[in-house]
Amino acid sequence: MAIGASLFILIVSLPVYKLLGLNKLLAFLWGAFFSLFITAFAFAVNSWAFRFGGKSFYRVVLGGMFLRFLIVGIVLFGVWRYTQLHLITFLISLMAFYVLFQAIEIRYFQKNLLKKNR
């Protein structure tokens, strides 16, 4: 998944660069790859959580969600306060790729849960 997503991001980068320029391209790339990192982290935590049952499963999933939101908040503050990246482009890229990657992750887990329940 990560290799395919990285290739997709790089292919989309050329039109972004041609239309919006270098600074917005860098913001787009940082948002996209940060979203990929967060989704990969979520995938690893959720895969690990499936090994547990009941309360432990929910604790791991909710703890992973809390940690992801905390990391995203810290990174957003850092981008806003300490970088010259275009914040709106970063946010749009982050949100768009996060939704796309979450849809892929949910589909993967649903498919595996269906196999597991049979």
> How far from chain centre, in Å, is Cα 87?
17
- Six token digits for residue 99: 């939704």
Task: Classify 54 in phi/psi space as left (phi over 0), alpha (psi -120 to 50) or beta.
Answer: left
Q: What is the per-residue burial (b if ≥16 Cβ within 10 Å, else e) of 71-83?
A: eeeebeeebeeee
Rg (CA), the chain: 16
pLDDT per residue of the chain (118 residues) written in tens, 0 to 9: 668 777 888 888 888 889 999 999 999 999 999 999 999 998 888 888 888 777 888 888 889 899 999 999 999 999 999 999 999 999 999 999 999 988 888 888 888 776 666 6
Provide the number of structural domains found in the chain. 1
Q: What is the pTM of this model?
A: 0.82
Q: Domain range spanning residue 9?
A: 2-117
